[in-house]
Chain A
Amino acid sequence: DQQVKQNSPSLSVQEGRISILNCDYTNSMFDYFLWYKKYPAEGPTFLISISSIKDKNEDGRFTVFLNKSAKHLSLHIVPSQPGDSAVYFCAASVEGGATNKLIFGTGTLLAVQP
């Protein structure tokens, strides 16, 4: 039972445009959400997070939006750069993130074309 779903296995975007990566979840107990980026042969790197008490969190070119009623979150990257090409995982947890037990989606491969 996949509690966190990333339905798009891949996404291709032109450099300078917006990249939108989507994530859906089923467990209403999740109260903390994170996005990680992963390059080949490296471990995931933390990008940005959001608590369920917020609906938006912004950090530079990265913005995460949370729609609790739809159980949906998205990551916006503006403007996209070739160095952003990687696999992006969304993850969720309970206990406000004060736990190492993250439930990950299956990832979306983002390719930013120069």
Chain B
Amino acid sequence: KAGVTQTPRYLIKTRGQQVTLSCSPISGHRSVSWYQQTPGQGLQFLFEYFSETQRNKGNFPGRFSGRQFSNSRSEMNVSTLELGDSALYLCASRQIIGTGVETQYFGPGTRLLVL
């Protein structure tokens, strides 16, 4: 089974621009989450989508948004980019088949550099 894929892997943007990152979950996984990793803050939860609906949200400004499509693929958008948005953006997927705990599987991430 293919793992979580993220595109693009690397991206360079300038301040004020917007960016869209894409995540394809593992086949059959319906839950997708996004995290931001920076050297000083570690991994921080952005949001989670399940069945095209946002289920959970972290403490990020409204410039960060996302969506999920009917095939479970997800996109994350950041508008009006700031230098501090430079980070590794990780996507994780999970199956959710019952009340048990299912592991999240992470993609390799998209490294965004804002100049």
Please report A residues at the B interface, Cβ cutoff 8 Å: 32, 36, 41-46, 49, 89, 91, 96-107
Given contacts A43-B4, A43-B108, A104-B43, contact A99 B56 (CB under 8 A): yes
Per-residue CB contact flags for chain B residues 11-51 toward chain A (1 = under 8 Å, else 0) read: 00000000000000000000101010000111111001000
State the Cβ distance, B111 to closest chain A Cβ, in Å: 9
Q: Is the CB of A44 within 8 A of B106?
A: yes
Q: List the A side residues contacting B106 at CB < 8 Å.
A: 36, 43-45
CA distance A102 to B4 in the complex (A): 18
Q: List the A side residues contacting B66 at CB < 8 Å.
A: none
Q: List the A side residues contacting B33 at CB < 8 Å.
A: 100-101
B101 at the interface (CB under 8 A from A): yes
Interface of B is mostly: strand
Given contacts A100-B31, A100-B56, A101-B45, contact A46 B103 (CB under 8 A): yes
Give residues 46-96 of B contacting A (CB, 8 Å). Answer: 48, 55-56, 58, 90, 92, 94
Q: Is the CB of B48 within 8 A of A43?
A: no
Residue from the list B4, B41, B48, B109 in contact with A106, Cβ < 8 A: B41
Q: Is the CB of A43 within 8 A of B56?
A: no
State the Cβ distance, A2 to closest chain B Cβ, in Å: 8
Q: Name B96's closest neighbour in chain A (CB-CB).
A: A98
